[in-house]
Structure 1
Amino acid sequence: MAPTVSSAHSKLSYPLYAADFDPYNPDFLLVGGGGGSSSTGVPNKISLIDTSRRDQLTEVVDVELVKGEDSVTSLAVSDSLASCLTAFAGINSSIADQKAGKNEHLRSFRIGLPAKKGRADGTTVDGAEKPASQPQSSQALGRTALFKSASGTNNETYQRVLRFSPAKTPGQPRIAAIASGLAPENEIIVFQPTPIPTQKDEISRIDLGKREAADLDLNVNVGEKEGHILAYCTDDEVFVQQLPGSSKPASPKSLYRTTESTTSLPPSKRPKFRAVRFLSPRYLLLLQNRPGRTGADLLVLRITNDLSQSRISLRKRLHSSTKAAVGLDVCHLTSSSLNEYQIIIAVAGQSGDASSIEVLTMDYSDAGVGTFRPCTLLRNVHSGPLTRLVFSNFIGPTLPITKETPPQFIRLASVGVDMNVVVQYLPLRPYPLSSKTPRYVLTPPGRSEAMQTTFSVFVALVVVSIVAFLMQAFCEIRGVVPPMLGAPNWMSPRMRNLVARPWILGENISSVAYSDIPVAAHSAAEKVKEAIVELPSDIANAASDLKQKLQDLVHENSQLETPKAIIVHEASMGELSTEVAADADLVQRETLKKWEELSETDQKSWKQKLIDAGYWAEQQGENVLEGIFFSGLGGIVGNIVGGQ
């Protein structure tokens, strides 16, 4: 059953393009946007939103940026204290500064916080920890340009992506990565997030050429090499780069490339990667749009331990209402002692003028990731394009839990050009319920893949058994098979008289027992065998009878007082016919030759014809043929005059 999701929204005075939660206090959401450098009068701002109430969002800090500069294109919170947080943003300089070769696209700010109402785990902040009820003043910390193209003139370079490594505890060092867009030569830069980063703070710089990074993500590395891992994707390829903490990083490695990119298909006919997120240090989640706004897919990329190879281990097509995906984020919930945890996945989709959010879950263990499990579909979240989707960081309550432990929620925020901020509150539950030190999940974990396969096979066997049982019972009732289950006796006498039929074989062929069938079959086989053996002798006897009848005809004709001629004609298909001619003139009218008058070739030919017709055999000798007349028409004339 889908969880009950509550939501709150607030409309600001400017279009929104970026958002991020305070990593250590989910009550605070930072958003940014604006009208850019145009003269529309729409300001460029960064606002702090209080999300502590599930029925209301409140704007508590409003930072108006310099007029004439560009709007906020990317935004992330790097760290926070009780009284303030530090944030970085992507903001282009004014058009005049850009033409002068000065585009300070990376900005840092300190945003004052109001009094905390609670920690991330839901507990109340002690009085000694509470800051003043009014937030401290906010201020800009610094601005700098890291992209090489930012010093050029007449280009549209902007900071399209800004991402930090995962936050665990306050004060823990984090690294950041930015990617450029619309630049003559695009780049990805990984750096230490000091207030004003310089080249000394750079960890890695990747040249992309004309290609752009659609998205990137950072995670902590595991195994022999400590440090971090950078993953990024272009339209058709996925890369990773190891970022050791104490040595120079190696070159990025290509992990996966779409098959369509190697064909002659135009770019508009190819799928494109839209976003990438780490599920674990060795599993990547990819969001891919199908060509022609025909849908989107989620892909899980499994990476080898040495980060040299990968394969697609899981794929899921998103809801049919999603024509094109525009955003992706994931949230890792707390883990158990066996390193089992649940991952919440949110995908923003666009369909016409409305934007929706599909929420899924996936279970993870040391054995690998589970399957995608749909959770809920949030329709019509924004009336226009959704520009940013972000989860709050879930830290979890203090363990062991008690009756005083408050309910736990995860927040999912989205912003759009419709100027609306929307926060969804997803209720979490402890798992297992009986444990005092549970982990938290959004949906109850599903069965493992092996258990799911075993269960599916068992269900299939049960279904087949039930169908076979019903078929046997039906056939018994209709009298098709002998009764084994006694199915006709299960019915009432009235129904049995209307539906049931006696066993057909038992009623109509009762004289044939089962034991007789093999005997009958054996007898029939013996008869066939005898007929085959006798067939050659029968054929020989038939030929002998034919020759005997002809000899009898010749003998009887020789006993007559008046000589007659016997004419044997060879008809078509090799058949023979006989004719007895009483008129001797018939013999004189035909062109005849005696056997001894025939040439050697004609004799050889006639011998073969006589043998084939069964009138003569070689063992009879040629003396039998002497005195017989042979017609030029292919017949045989026997002149019986004088015993010939």
Structure 2
Amino acid sequence: MAPNVSSSRTQLSYPLYAADFDPLNPDFLLVGGGGGSSSTGVPNKISLIDTSQRNELKEVIDIELASNEDSVTSLAIADSSAASLTAFAGINSSVADQNAGRNEHLRSFRIGLPARKRRADGSTVVGDGEKPLAPAQDSQPLGRTALFRSATTTKNDTYQRVLRFSPPQKTGQPRLAAIASGLAPNNEVIVFRPNPKPAPDDEVSRIELGSREAGDVDLTMEDGEKGGYLLAYCTDDEVFLQQLPPSSKPDVPTSLFRASEISRSLPPSQRPKFRALRFLTPRHLLLLRNRPSRTGADLLVLRISQDCSQARISLRKQLNKSIKAAVGLDVCGLTESEQGEKQFAIGVAGQSGEDSSIEVLALDCSPEAGLGFFRSYAFFKAVHNGPLTRLVFSSFIGPTLPVTKSVGPQSLRLASVGVDKCVVVHYLPLRPFSATSAKTPRYVLIPPGRSEAVQTSFSVFFALVVVGLVAFLMQAFCEIRGVVPPILGAPGWLSPRMRELVARPYIFADRISSAASDVPIAAHSATEKLKTSADEMTSTLSSALSSATDSLKNLVEENSNLETPKAIIVREQPMGEISTEILQSDAELLKQETLKKWEQLSEAQKKGWKRRLIDAGHWAEHQGENVLKGILFSELAGAVGNMVGGG
């Protein structure tokens, strides 16, 4: 429940099916119902409830109707004054009258009101000594008639399921009324002027629906200089609009909106159904739709074209998930600013399991921005134990401007009745709102604010701020407890004594310091080992290279010390390697390939052999060419070529 929303409840002696507030005085609520013509002993009644005290609802007038007639099925107040009000009701005649082909279903009553002092703005002055409450004999029936054609035939199940008046204007200004039949052989919607005893001349429009029924109807005044009225009604799957000019014949109703072809191709139990409708403006129609199989309900706003030929959905709202099926709808337009800005209070009644609940929403409208977004105001759970039959707002006129200090808090009343015989009134507090002057405010349920997208962005931003704050506090706590390194320096935020008691050093710091100190030592040891290995490898390579480069010189020296020197032959192997060989005899020498002494080689050949000997490690330039003199050089497969023999 929304804050500061108070409610009052009272239980009557009969089940209730209809209710309406006095359009000029929200202190009075008229309710009706009964047990019908059955022999249960439950009476048929109309009661006037005083709602001026928030902590108590008082039944001030109790009108008992004929027990052999039907109960009150629909009820609305047509006109009101300080002394009395005029009400119309839907009440079927007795069974005997219906069998005779006479069912005077439309009744009118004049009901006297308790005398009490009122302020200029219509509010009640409490504690000034009210006169005694009006007795029931001050109320009297005014007329009864039959407007439905099926009501003048032999008995059938026709009844007046809907009764709706155009919005109240000033006192004495005429209004139009519309009624719709139910369970008739041929259902109808009829618009008429609500004279106390309607005659055929008072009929404005008659629409035949055949076997279809109008679930709800509504009337509003047309914009523009021509004036006139607009009538809207809905069946299970279609919405119609009829223009009612002031001085000419009504136009044929136009189909404004219908369920999609996919829905129409489904079985009736799987189709969504239109339940109720209300005009927001002459070009915006609010539609209540139930989803199939009691899976929820939606509000749709239909934007009507300028020529009133079609409409499209401009706004959509899914109702509270607790509502399985919607059963009632009402709208109240709150006060309007000088710029034409206005807020609508929307009440939806729905069944939530075995109980009935109410959801209240707000919708802003301005000439420049058009309609805003639906905003949920309150959700009232289990208002009635069983089906809720009628939901109605009081009208709100507002205090006289400019507002003075003597003007108290303002509220809007929302009444509901049900078969549990209970009347419940919620008092919704209104807030003054003005963008220009505090003395000329308009009143709203919820102050106009940002769009839903902006609100969502703000909510996300706020959530991120909360998450960031929690993360900051967790980091600070973990630093103080020594779990993580001190990035924020949180231990330093504490006093020395508190730090000794709470704060701890970072528990991994010693290990990291130890590990960090071991790294240079290990690296130094590894470097020394690598250096030693490199030195050893270098020494080995140097030794090998030295021994390789000295091998040919040593071979020459050893050969020269022999009594009979041998021939030394240097050959290049197929893989580019160099081999040395000492021949033991000349005969063996004659068998070899063409050989040349070093002295016999050309400069190009000497240069080539020097490069090969150096690459193979058999000779170095510092040894000089004398080492090579007398040595025979040979190349296989003519690799060197142009070699000649020598002795």
Cross-structure match for 1:333? 334
Contact 1:3 1:426 in 2 (8 A): no
Give the 3-state SS of the residue equivalent to 1:335 in structure 2.
coil
Amino acid aligned to 1:308:
S
Contact 2:38 2:68 in 1 (8 A): yes
How many pairs does the alignment contain? 482
Structure-2 change in CA distance of 1:455 and 1:418 (3 Å): closer
1:523-546 C-alpha deviation (Å, 9 max, x unpaired)? xxxxxxxxxxxxxxxxxxxxxxxx
How far the C-alpha of 1:118 sits from its partner, in A, is 3.3
Amino acid aligned to 1:379:
K
How far the C-alpha of 1:499 sits from its partner, in A, is 11
TM-score calculated relative to the size of structure 1: 0.70
Gaps of 5+ in 1: 469-487, 503-644
Q: Counterparts of 1:473-552 in structure 2 under 5 Å?
A: none
Structure-2 change in CA distance of 1:76 and 1:388 (3 Å): same
1:569-612 C-alpha deviation (Å, 9 max, x unpaired)? xxxxxxxxxxxxxxxxxxxxxxxxxxxxxxxxxxxxxxxxxxxx
- Taking the aligned partners of 2:262 and 2:27, their CA distance within structure 1 comes to 44
Cross-structure match for 1:525? none
- Taking the aligned partners of 1:243 and 1:429, their CA distance within structure 2 comes to 37
1:80-134 C-alpha deviation (Å, 9 max, x unpaired)? 1111100000000001111111000000000011113535835456999998753
- Taking the aligned partners of 2:336 and 2:40, their CA distance within structure 1 comes to 49
How far the C-alpha of 1:421 sits from its partner, in A, is 0.7
Amino acid aligned to 2:326:
A
Q: Counterparts of 1:240-639 in structure 2 under 5 Å?
A: 240-259=241-260, 263-366=264-367, 367-432=369-434, 435-447=438-450, 449=451, 453=453
Cross-structure match for 2:598? none
Structure-2 change in CA distance of 1:186 and 1:54 (3 Å): same
Cross-structure match for 1:235? 236
Amino acid aligned to 2:172:
G
Amino acid aligned to 1:139:
Q
How far the C-alpha of 1:418 sits from its partner, in A, is 0.6
- Taking the aligned partners of 1:23 and 1:499, their CA distance within structure 2 comes to 82
Contact 1:3 1:427 in 2 (8 A): no
Contact 1:123 1:406 in 2 (8 A): no
Structure-2 change in CA distance of 1:459 and 1:35 (3 Å): closer
Give the 3-state SS of the residue equivalent to 1:103 in structure 2.
coil
Contact 1:3 1:442 in 2 (8 A): no
Structure-2 change in CA distance of 1:19 and 1:460 (3 Å): closer
Cross-structure match for 2:149? 148
Contact 1:120 1:395 in 2 (8 A): no
- Taking the aligned partners of 1:281 and 1:264, their CA distance within structure 2 comes to 32
- Taking the aligned partners of 2:461 and 2:423, their CA distance within structure 1 comes to 52
How far the C-alpha of 1:465 sits from its partner, in A, is 13
How far the C-alpha of 1:454 sits from its partner, in A, is 6.5
Give the 3-state SS of the residue equivalent to 1:150 in structure 2.
helix
- Taking the aligned partners of 1:51 and 1:436, their CA distance within structure 2 comes to 28
Structure-2 change in CA distance of 1:463 and 1:361 (3 Å): closer
1:133-157 C-alpha deviation (Å, 9 max, x unpaired)? 5356100000000001101113100
Amino acid aligned to 2:116:
K
- Taking the aligned partners of 1:461 and 1:118, their CA distance within structure 2 comes to 50
Contact 1:16 1:31 in 2 (8 A): yes
Cross-structure match for 2:177? 176
Gaps of 5+ in 2: 469-484, 491-504, 517-647
Amino acid aligned to 1:110:
R
Cross-structure match for 1:121? 121
Amino acid aligned to 1:83:
A
- Taking the aligned partners of 1:260 and 1:318, their CA distance within structure 2 comes to 24
Structure-2 change in CA distance of 1:127 and 1:352 (3 Å): closer
Radius of gyration: which is bigger?
A: 2
Cross-structure match for 1:185? 186
Contact 2:19 2:29 in 1 (8 A): yes
- Taking the aligned partners of 2:119 and 2:379, their CA distance within structure 1 comes to 29
- Taking the aligned partners of 2:455 and 2:84, their CA distance within structure 1 comes to 53
- Taking the aligned partners of 1:154 and 1:120, their CA distance within structure 2 comes to 50
Amino acid aligned to 2:160:
Q
Contact 1:122 1:406 in 2 (8 A): no
Contact 2:348 2:360 in 1 (8 A): yes
- Taking the aligned partners of 1:457 and 1:381, their CA distance within structure 2 comes to 34
1:142-174 C-alpha deviation (Å, 9 max, x unpaired)? 000000110111310000000000012211111
How far the C-alpha of 1:432 sits from its partner, in A, is 2.7
- Taking the aligned partners of 2:237 and 2:198, their CA distance within structure 1 comes to 31
How far the C-alpha of 1:205 sits from its partner, in A, is 0.5
- Taking the aligned partners of 2:487 and 2:325, their CA distance within structure 1 comes to 59
Contact 2:25 2:123 in 1 (8 A): no
Structure-2 change in CA distance of 1:466 and 1:107 (3 Å): closer
Give the 3-state SS of the residue equivalent to 1:56 in structure 2.
coil
Contact 1:122 1:408 in 2 (8 A): no
Cross-structure match for 1:107? 107
- Taking the aligned partners of 1:467 and 1:17, their CA distance within structure 2 comes to 52
Cross-structure match for 2:33? 33
Structure-2 change in CA distance of 1:225 and 1:94 (3 Å): same
Contact 2:103 2:152 in 1 (8 A): yes
Give the 3-state SS of the residue equivalent to 2:383 in structure 1.
strand
Cross-structure match for 2:18? 18
Amino acid aligned to 2:449:
G
Q: Counterparts of 1:36-55 in structure 2 under 5 Å?
A: 36-55=36-55
Quick check: 1:89 aligned with 2:55?
no
1:9-42 C-alpha deviation (Å, 9 max, x unpaired)? 1111110000000000000000000000111111
Structure-2 change in CA distance of 1:24 and 1:266 (3 Å): same
How far the C-alpha of 1:353 sits from its partner, in A, is 1.7
Structure-2 change in CA distance of 1:357 and 1:456 (3 Å): closer
Cross-structure match for 2:478? none
